[in-house]
Homo-oligomer: A and B are copies of this chain.
Amino acid sequence: MPSSPVLFLATIAADGTTSFAPADPGAPQLRVDDLGATRGDGVFESVNVVGAVPQSLTHHLARFARSAAMLDLPAPDAAAWTDAVHRAVAAHEPGDELLAKLVLTRGVEGSGVPTGWVHVFPGYDYGTQRTAGIDVLVLDRAYPSDVVTRAPWLLQGAKTLSYALNQAALRYARGHGAHDVVFVSADGDVLEGPNSTVLAKFADRWVTTPPELGLLDGTTQGRAFAWARARGERTEVAHLTVDDLRTADALWLLSSGRLSAPVRSLEGVPRPTDAGLQAELLQHLLTVHE
Chain B residues positioned under 8 Å from A35 (CB to CB): 167
A window 57-99: CB within 8 A of B: 71-72
Given known pairs A25-B31, A38-B44, the reply for A150 and B143 (CB within 8 Å) is: no
User: Are the C-beta atoms of A165 and B162 separated by less than 8 Å?
Assistant: yes
A26 — nearest CB in chain B belongs to which residue? B31
A172 to B154, CA, bound (A): 11
| Whole-angstrom distance between the Cβ of A93 and the nearest chain B Cβ | 18
Chain B residues positioned under 8 Å from A155 (CB to CB): 164-165, 168
- Segment at the interface with B among A47-55, A134-142, A205-213, A241-249: A134-142
Q: Is the interface of A mostly helix, strand, loop or mixed?
A: mixed
Interface size on A, residues (CB 8 A): 56
A171 to B153, CA, bound (A): 9
A42 to B117, CA, bound (A): 21
| Whole-angstrom distance between the Cβ of A177 and the nearest chain B Cβ | 15
User: Is A41 interfacial (CB-CB < 8 Å)?
Assistant: yes
| Whole-angstrom distance between the Cβ of A68 and the nearest chain B Cβ | 12
A124 — nearest CB in chain B belongs to which residue? B110
A positions within 8 Å CB-CB of B: 5, 7, 25-42, 44, 71-72, 101, 103, 105-106, 117, 119, 121, 139-144, 147, 150-151, 153-155, 158, 160-169, 171-172, 186
Q: Which 8 pairs from chain A and chain B are nearest by CB?
A: A40-B40, A162-B162, A162-B164, A30-B30, A39-B163, A40-B162, A160-B164, A37-B37
